[in-house]
Amino acid sequence: MIPDRAETVQRAFQMVLRGIGQHRVAEVFNRGGVPVFGSSSRKAPKHWHASFIFRLMVNPAVVGVFIPHRNDYVNGKKTRTPMEPVQGYFPAIIDAPTWDGVQALVMGGGVSAKRGRHAKASGLVNLLAGLARCPLCVSSMTLVNKGAKVERKLVCSKARAAAGCKYKSVSYPTVESALLNQIYWLLNDAPAQSEEEARIRRELDSVDTVMDLTSEHLRHLLEAVEQGLSTPAVQERLRTTEAQLEDLRGQEKALRSRWAAVDNTLLDYKVNRVSDIARGQPLDRQAFNAALRGLFQAVVIDYQRGELVFQWIAGGQSEIMYQWPNE
Ligand SMILES: [Zn+2]
């Protein structure tokens, strides 16, 4: 039986809207045996993570909007360029009030972020110490408001010294919770280390896209059948679509094992180290920061676009969103 992704997405939205944390939603799904989707990681994940739930919550595809991305690989370095959004590309599975309500909660430290498991991560170590950079002048961004009662902010060190940059403060807790919520996704986005790996990942990206569209198509056909529109033509299309999907799954599996076989030992070791520390309760903040520094040379706090731009030492960069642009 084909799992109904739309239903899973709707359940996740309803739970988050009721104030249930993303970590808890992932737990409930794991316990209920809900099949995982929403990640194109190196090794197909078997379990839901809070980061997958987060990515569903901010994915405009659920309200019908498609944002095509162009993947470019230059010397094995990947860059992803978002293109013009296409409204109404997918059938909307989440209504506008639900979407808006959830955006208000998940972006910028709403109820779910505060109830999340990282709520108590109030230690004093800045997880991005030595890494955070100003988007305008590339100087360090450091913490101000170190007292317990005031929200801590990241500010460009050049601006603090009145040396000519813009004084713009960014909420540190918001940045930190985005980082911790999306850390597994970020780690899965580690750069390709060879042309061979880049080619495999490019193929995997396109197989995953075609699979998503094919599953969507299948879902519509099944709905048609449920509504009694079961003509021989529909049945025939159902058969061919299921066969296509089966074929795509085979291709995906083959690509993933080829990817896993590509030699990438040192980078894998460093990625696993961050991932292990991230799972620790309570979080060892010092170790986490040190391990991040082993992977990234800088993290640009691009407050104009609402993104954290992680620059991999191994080449290339990955962006995670921490708030809507120009908030
Ligand atoms: Zn600056």
Cα–Cα separations (whole angstroms), residue 42 to 133, 181, 186, 266, 270 = 29, 19, 12, 15, 15
Ligand 1 centre distance from Cα of residue 160 (Å): 9
Ligand 1 centre distance from Cα of residue 317 (Å): 20
Residue the block writes with tokens 């737990």: 27
Ligand 1 centre distance from Cα of residue 133 (Å): 8
Ligand 1 centre distance from Cα of residue 325 (Å): 18
Q: Are 43 and 53 in contact (CB under 8 A)?
A: no
Residue 166 CA to residue 129 CA, distance in Å, equals 20
Ligand 1 centre distance from Cα of residue 194 (Å): 34
Element of type H or E holding 144: strand 141-144
Ligand 1 centre distance from Cα of residue 14 (Å): 40
Ligand 1 centre distance from Cα of residue 136 (Å): 5
Element of type H or E holding 74: strand 69-74
Residue 62: DSSP 8-state: G
Q: Which residues surround ligand 1, an ion (CB under 5 A)?
A: 134, 136-137, 139, 156, 158, 165
Ligand 1 centre distance from Cα of residue 169 (Å): 11
Q: Are 81 and 72 in contact (CB under 8 A)?
A: yes
Domain boundaries, the chain: 1-117, 132-186+266-321
Ligand 1 centre distance from Cα of residue 165 (Å): 5
Side-chain half-sphere of 296: how many Cα atoms within 13 Å? 28
Ligand 1 centre distance from Cα of residue 134 (Å): 5
Residue 176 CA to residue 186 CA, distance in Å, equals 13
Ligand 1 centre distance from Cα of residue 324 (Å): 21
- Which pTM does this prediction carry? 0.56
Ligand 1 centre distance from Cα of residue 110 (Å): 28
Tokens linked to 302: 């691009």
Ligand 1 centre distance from Cα of residue 140 (Å): 8
Ligand 1 centre distance from Cα of residue 138 (Å): 6
What does pLDDT average to in each consecutive run of 10 residues of the chain (327 residues)? 71 85 84 73 68 81 77 65 74 83 65 37 76 94 78 91 90 93 89 82 85 86 85 89 92 85 78 90 90 94 94 90 77
Ligand 1 centre distance from Cα of residue 135 (Å): 7
